[in-house]
Chain A
Amino acid sequence: MHMHLQNIIVLAIVFGAVFYLVRRMTRSAQGHDGAGCSKCSCNEGEKKAAQV
């Protein structure tokens, strides 16, 4: 594979990883635990349960 193409792919992967980590940490800071809906404590599930 051409050297420049390799560099571009690596750069994209590294920036993608940084973006993902920053987004995840920001979500944690907003109060979402980042562990998926089943574990999230935002009570959305419980509020939905009220709309039976």
Chain B
Amino acid sequence: MGIARRRRRAGDLPGSYSLTALSPDEALVQKLLQGLEGPAPSALLAIIDASNPERNLYFLSQLLDLGLPTVLALNMGDVAESKGLKVDAAALSKALGLRVVAVRAHKKDGIQALAEAMEETVREAKPARGPGLPLSGPGAADPATIRGRYEWARNKLVNVITRSDVGVRFSDKVDKVLTHRIWGVVALVLVMGMIFQSIYSWSNPLMDLMDKFVSWGGALLLKPLAPGILRDLLSDGVIAGVGSILIFVPQIAVLFFFIAILEDCGYMARSAFLMDRLFAKLGLSGRSFIPLLSSFACAVPGILATRTIADRKERLTTMLVAPLMSCSARLPVYTVLIAAFLPGRLIFGVIDQRALVLLALYCLGLAVAVPVAYLLRKRMRAGVAPLFLIELPSYKWPDLHTVLRRVTEQCKEFVANAGTIILAVAVVVWALGAFPRPQALLDGFQARRQALEVQVAPAGVKLAEGEALDREQQGELMRQSWLGRLGRVINPVFEPLGWDWRVTMAALASIPAREVVIGSMGTIFSATGGDAASGGLRKALVQARRDDGTPVFTIAVALSLMVFFALCAQCASTLAVIRRESGHWGWAAFTFSYMTILAWGAGAIVFHVAAAFGLG
């Protein structure tokens, strides 16, 4: 931060309610501020919510007892005023004996004044003075100490706050419905249903545009290259692999657009409140629901968010079930298979059947997580769920800047993944599928091609037979490749799920990151005669045939594949984070094992049930 040409280093700490640490994130704040992990800061900036001054001053009393020079930023004054509460910053400053600046962070109001106040406080280096109550040891959490701190806070607020009656607020009126035990759940299902419906209806035109762009870019790249191995690598490996995943960027953007809106308007906290009732019956609390909710975007930040859970067993349970939530990497797998194999029929004339299946897949992760969490808690002999307290923020209009930033960040990460890990896997899968190229086999096909040329037949027939011969050659080369041989050895394990060896290989190639499967399928099915190179992966999947001429994909196979992906732990990043946060590789191995077994079992059941209903 630069004030009057001076630069200071500032660090942000996790938001806390107290210095008497319960959860790992609060423990970290406590250690850092007390100088137990490196040098203590030279000054503190405490940002408090003006709409709840008494509770926030309780925390401030602990911060002041640290004896560090402190500045107080009084944020969300507008929210406080909407609640009929006015906090006089000047009077509070006088009462506390430190600089107090009123700010509105989202509008950047008061930031300059705050920076100046901080600079002056750092220069003065005058230690702050709190009530002088114990900060650590058994006395810190003693009821008498807590009462003493609240009494200090109330005394400081005399002549500082004025209250006026504003009647029932808009937020409270809306909450009567949205946090209702029945209507609240109905509203939650409707909101989620609308999001999935819009993923299809909004993103389709953008996806078509992206598809055209990928085809155009691919054609441009291949134009100067003569037929040969390099051209094959670019067309069947790079373009088919990376191109087929890039067209999903618009869907990812639409999904995160809605998630960001729901977060920013304050609805997400309500959904955690609603879920607390259900989770409490299973030994978890709404506190676990927030990391699980984050995991719908990506399990990595979801698992990191479990640091806010104080109870170790509850934290570990949440961490182990978080990867069951359908993250954004699963979305392309669902949508490509749903679009290829499920007709877009309307149910009740309004709801798209495909959106309903997508919603069901997202609910599947949560539905499976509930009994798994219950069993884990029982096995760990964990007691009842700890009490869950959550602050429901007032509803507000989402900030477009915040929403767009979130969407851009997620799209960037998705594209970066496509350009690194997906590209690398696509190249390796292509190489495994392209080699070895037995000369005898190539010579045999060459001889048949020459025989076809001298054959007397109409030009159209000869062309069709030539194309069939090309497809046969590609199929035979793939079967004799390393990928084909490996696939046929492993495939018996996945036969109960109805998978062909090519599907098995695509699924196995996606163990480092699940979205890789789209690129791998693009590479494998384009190399066996499909049209994935031009972005038509769906068409290539529909056209793919087994050795006996039957389709590789039926609705039953597509459903088993989607259920497998919904429940399987194909994400190296997630497993690495579980290891890091749990402190043991055993938990990462356990997560991978239980999820893979679960995914295999559920996939097999879904395949056989769907086949019994004539969908196989």
Contact = CB atoms under 8 A, between A and B. Distances in A.
Interface of A: 1, 3, 6-7, 9-10, 13-14, 16-18, 20-21, 24-25, 28-29, 31-36, 39, 41-42, 46-52
B421 A24 contact: yes
A contact face: mostly helix, strand, loop, or mixed? helix
A7 B435 CA distance: 12
Given A41-B304, A52-B9, 15 more contacts: A1-B226, A1-B228, A3-B228, A7-B229, A14-B427, A14-B428, A17-B423, A24-B421, A28-B572, A28-B575, A33-B577, A41-B580, A46-B28, A50-B11, A52-B42
A46 B32 contact: yes
B49 to A, nearest CB: 22
A34 B42 CA distance: 34
Given A6-B230, A17-B423, A49 B580 contact: no
Given A3-B228, A46-B28, A46-B32, A10 B300 contact: no
Interface stretch (B33-41, B133-141, B263-271, B357-365): B33-41
13 contacts: A1-B230, A10-B229, A17-B424, A17-B425, A18-B428, A31-B579, A35-B573, A41-B304, A41-B581, A46-B32, A50-B39, A50-B41, A51-B9
Q: Which 3 A-B pairs have the closest CB atoms?
A: A49-B11, A50-B38, A17-B427
Contacts of A46: 28, 32
B13 interface: yes
Contacts of A50: 11, 32, 37-41
A50 to B, nearest CB: 4
Given A6-B228, A7-B229, A13 B427 contact: yes
B15 to A, nearest CB: 13
Contact of A34 (B37, B424, B428, B572): B572
B573 A28 contact: yes
B233 A13 contact: yes
Given A21-B425, A52-B9, A33 B300 contact: yes
Contacts of A1: 225-226, 228, 230
Given A1-B228, A25-B512, A49-B13, A17 B428 contact: yes
Contacts of B226: 1
Nearest to A32: B576
A3 B229 CA distance: 8
Interface in B302-355: 303-304
Given A21-B421, A25-B512, A49 B576 contact: no
A35 B577 CA distance: 10
A18 B32 CA distance: 41
A3 B32 CA distance: 62
Question: Which among A3, A9, A35, A48 has the highest number of chain B CB atoms within 10 Å?
Answer: A35
B613 to A, nearest CB: 40
Chain B interface extent, by class: 35 or more
B10 interface: yes
A14 B229 contact: no
A50 B572 CA distance: 30
Contacts of B431: 10, 14, 17
Given A41-B581, A46-B28, A31 B12 contact: no
B105 to A, nearest CB: 19
A29 to B, nearest CB: 7
A20 B576 CA distance: 17
Given A31-B576, A34-B572, A52-B11, A47 B37 contact: yes
Interface string B576-590: 110111000000000
B420 interface: yes
B436 interface: no
A7 to B, nearest CB: 6
A28 B10 contact: no
B604 to A, nearest CB: 28
B301 interface: yes
Contacts of A3: 228-229
A1 to B, nearest CB: 7
B234 to A, nearest CB: 9
Contact of B576 (A6, A9, A29): A29
Contacts of A51: 9, 11, 38-39
A13 B242 CA distance: 15
A50 B35 CA distance: 8
Contacts of A24: 421, 424, 512, 572
Contacts of B575: 28
Nearest to A5: B230
A21 B520 CA distance: 15
Nearest to A23: B424
Nearest to B33: A50
B63 to A, nearest CB: 14
Nearest to A29: B576
B9 A21 contact: no
Contacts of A49: 11-13, 32
Nearest to A24: B421
B6 to A, nearest CB: 15
Nearest to A45: B11
Contacts of A28: 572-573, 575-576
Interface in B12-49: 12-13, 28, 32, 37-43
A13 B9 CA distance: 43
B304 A25 contact: no
